[in-house]
Amino acid sequence: MISTKDELISHIDSIYRSALYLAKNPEDAEDLVQETFIKAFKFLDNNKKIEYEKAWLFKILMNTFINQYRKSKSNPPLVDFDTVESYHASVEEEALNGPVMENKEKFDDLLDSEVKGALEALPDDFRIAILLSIVEGFTYNEISEILGIPIGTVMSRIYRGKKILKEELRSYAKGLGYERRQE
């Protein structure tokens, strides 16, 4: 199947959502989305074929983000959180270093605060895997392709990420009458 530009554009909300979580402020997110589509359109203009356009677009988004990240030395390096221990350490460190988000108010408006807080509690690398899984509905295989990491790493990030989310949103579940017994 050959994708058209319109088909690519139909994924703009999804791309924007993820860009917002990657860039952490609306302005940079918009730039990231623009870059992504510029590259995608260029590819289409050269009559190249795309297999599964949504995953493909996300892969361009991730590559663009990582390249920009590497270019701008002002930003902290991308940290690979692979242990829960380092997760706790990083949360503390983040608290010490103050909020990472610019334009925080604008960002706050976009999401209900409880879910937002829960997502913020996740390390960056976990968060993007979780969003691709829960929100965008990609399979573990596709996520592994998009992020360029082994499927085992995807599984462990999603497993641990979802556990953290559940801890963060436990009170919400309780409020709905679940969790009568707690061990």
Partner 1 sequence: MNCNSVRKYFYAFIDNELDVERNIEILAHLDMCYECSTKIEIERVIQNRVKESVLSISAPDSLKRSIAVMANPRPSFFSSLKEKLFANGVLKPVGAFVSLLLIITVFIVILSYNMQNEAFHIAESEYHHMLMNDMETDIRSKNKNAIKGYILDNVGLDVDLPDFRGNTKLIGASLSTINDKSVPLVYYMIGNVPAALYIGRDFDLNLSKAKRELINDMVIYKTDGDCGDCKIISWQGDDNQYIMISKINSNRMIGVLTSI
Binding stretches for partner 1 (CB under 8 A): 5-6, 9, 12-13, 15-17, 20, 26-27, 30-31, 33-35, 37-38, 41, 110-112, 115-116, 118-119, 130-131, 133-135, 139-140, 155, 158-159, 162, 165-166, 169, 172-173, 176, 178-179, 181
Among residues 98 and 177, whose Cβ is nearest to partner 1? 177
| Smallest gap from residue 32 Cβ to partner 1 (A) | 10
| Smallest gap from residue 85 Cβ to partner 1 (A) | 20
Residue 47 corresponds to which amino acid? N
SS3 123: coil
Among residues 91 and 169, whose Cβ is nearest to partner 1? 169
| Smallest gap from residue 79 Cβ to partner 1 (A) | 23
Among residues 89 and 110, whose Cβ is nearest to partner 1? 110
For 129, counting Cβ atoms within 10 Å of its Cβ (0-12 exposed, 13-18 middle, 19+ buried), the class is: buried
The two tokens of residue 123 are 């390390």
SS3 151: helix
CA distance 19 to 128: 10
Among residues 62 and 128, whose Cβ is nearest to partner 1? 128
| Smallest gap from residue 31 Cβ to partner 1 (A) | 5
| Smallest gap from residue 57 Cβ to partner 1 (A) | 12
CB 137, CB 129: distance < 8 Å: no
Which of 18, 134, 97, 10 shows the shortest CA–CA distance to 65?
18
Among residues 46 and 97, whose Cβ is nearest to partner 1? 46
DSSP string, 10-31: TTHHHHHHHHHHHHSSHHHHHH
Among residues 104 and 116, whose Cβ is nearest to partner 1? 116
| Smallest gap from residue 105 Cβ to partner 1 (A) | 15
CA distance 156 to 53: 26
